[in-house]
Amino acid sequence: MISFRPKTAYDKDAVLVLLGSGQTHPRFKKDLEKGEVYPVIEKGRVFLFAGLGNTDKLSLTDLRIQVRKALLSGYLKKARSVEIVPHSKNDTAIISIIEGVAIGTYVWDKYKSRDKEDKTVKDKHITINAEPKKAFLDAVNICQGVSLTRDLVNDNADTITSDYLEKTVRGLIKGHKPARLEVLNRKELKARGLNLILAVNQASNKEPKLIIVRYDGAKKNEGYTAIIGKGMTFDTGGLNLKPTGSIETMKIDMAGAAAVCGLLRNALALKIKKNLLFVLGVAENSIGSAAYKPGDVLTGYAGKSVEIGNTDAEGRLVLADAFAYVVKNYKPSKMIDLATLTGACVVALGFDYSGLFSNSDELARELMEASRKTDDRAWHMPLYPEIKEYIKSPIADIKNTSNIKGAGACTAAEFLHQFTEGTTWAHLDIAGTSYADGHGRMYYGHGATGAGVRLLTHYLLHN
């Protein structure tokens, strides 16, 4: 829990004081190096002084990292409440401190036993010495959407099924009149011809779903922006089975759909004044005698036939049907999708930048600006006319894999592009950014990061 008050009170179990080079405090006169922490015990209360170094050169990313490091210090382990004294009253710095607290100290410990005396930061009451401005309260709200996304991605694949995601969405919109729900289950998907989603899911005993929330936050004559998330609740790779070393974290292949849940939560909490569609294309790519096969030719909702070059290129099939259904039935003015789509994007950009593809330079610029403002990073990648040749099929209208080696993230994006039907569109490939393996990176710990939630919340609020 995070709260605000304009003046220091020193009435919590612990006080965290952030100090830049040359800054001092009545209880502490030493100049600390960046990353250095120094505890002072006074009448049973811990004052923890944390060095930020030269604040003129301190990036907001680094500020979040230093806040995270200080709050996770063993000196604050048993504190139930912590007061944070910022080094600056600048709004951007305060928002970064909020994110350092809420995002930096997130922990997934649902299945982990721990000593009752040990308190993770989510168990603590954090008070930040700052006015409770709307921008700060909004930042807390946005971080809660990020945490929801992370919880969904981190949980077991057999827990976060299509039924669970539908239940989550229904819980989010309950009591909210601007939101209306459409859910297509297996029977409805078959009746309407969404055969690509059905094929991907056909070896699974779980129900496939297309979940759509229509959020009316603006005037009726204003267009809808559709936010579409890839929701592979587990991806074995199908008959093109993923090997050991690649399959273990494939519960994260629904991170796009989880991000849509986080964005839906934020839109409702912040009362975003836009007409929005929140879309989850949900399936499980399993193996078995019923699995779809390499070499199959399938025809989806758009009426285009698709040659299956690889059953592990399944997410783009689910999204293709989702795109086609949304375009025909809801006619959005814009579409933005989030998908853990390709390992090739990780090869190209690593783990700190999502790949951004778009058929609109204006939309791409707006999303890149939101990326810079939020530190939810993206890099603009190319779509170009020649790339259409790489996904041609001799036996179908299109192929779900490329005919050349290389440009895997680009050819996957072009496959999606073929199902936009001229709608202004952007694609965020979050394969690398959605999960921090090992001991984490930047100001994220181990596990899901909530990639795309801050970026798109900011975009929806300011464009």
* 308-325 confidence digits (pLDDT tens): 999 999 999 999 999 999
- Tell me whether residue 316 is one of the annotated catalytic residues: yes
CB 391 within 8 A of CB 399: yes
* The pLDDT value given to residue 352: 96
Distances (CA, A) of 377 to 67, 171, 192, 249: 20, 30, 37, 22
Contacts of 35 (CB under 8 A, 6+ apart): 51, 53, 66, 69
* The pLDDT value given to residue 117: 61
CATH 3.40.630.10 domain range(s) in the chain: 141-462
CATH 3.40.220.10 domain range(s) in the chain: 2-132
Q: CATH number of 141-462: 1.10.10.10, 3.30.479.30, 3.40.630.10, 1.20.120.140?
A: 3.40.630.10
Which residue in 316, 334, 377, 399 is the catalytic one? 316
Tokens of 398: 């299109």
CB 428 within 8 A of CB 354: yes
CB 113 within 8 A of CB 68: no
Q: What is the CATH number of domain 2-132?
A: 3.40.220.10
- Tell me whether residue 242 is one of the annotated catalytic residues: yes
From first to last of the 463 residues of the chain, give the pLDDT tens digit.
Answer: 899 999 888 899 999 999 999 998 888 888 999 999 999 999 889 999 999 999 999 999 999 999 999 999 999 988 999 999 999 999 999 999 999 999 999 999 999 887 666 656 778 999 999 999 999 999 999 999 999 999 999 999 999 999 999 999 999 999 998 899 999 999 999 999 999 999 999 999 999 999 999 999 999 999 999 999 999 999 999 999 999 999 999 999 999 999 999 999 999 999 999 999 999 999 999 999 999 999 999 999 999 999 999 999 999 999 999 999 999 999 999 999 999 999 999 999 999 999 999 999 999 999 999 999 999 999 999 999 999 999 999 999 999 999 998 899 999 999 999 999 999 999 999 999 999 987 778 999 999 999 999 999 999 999 9
Which residue in 77, 190, 242, 274 is the catalytic one? 242
* The pLDDT value given to residue 446: 92
Q: Strands (DSSP E) along 144-247, which ranges?
A: 179-184, 209-216, 224-235
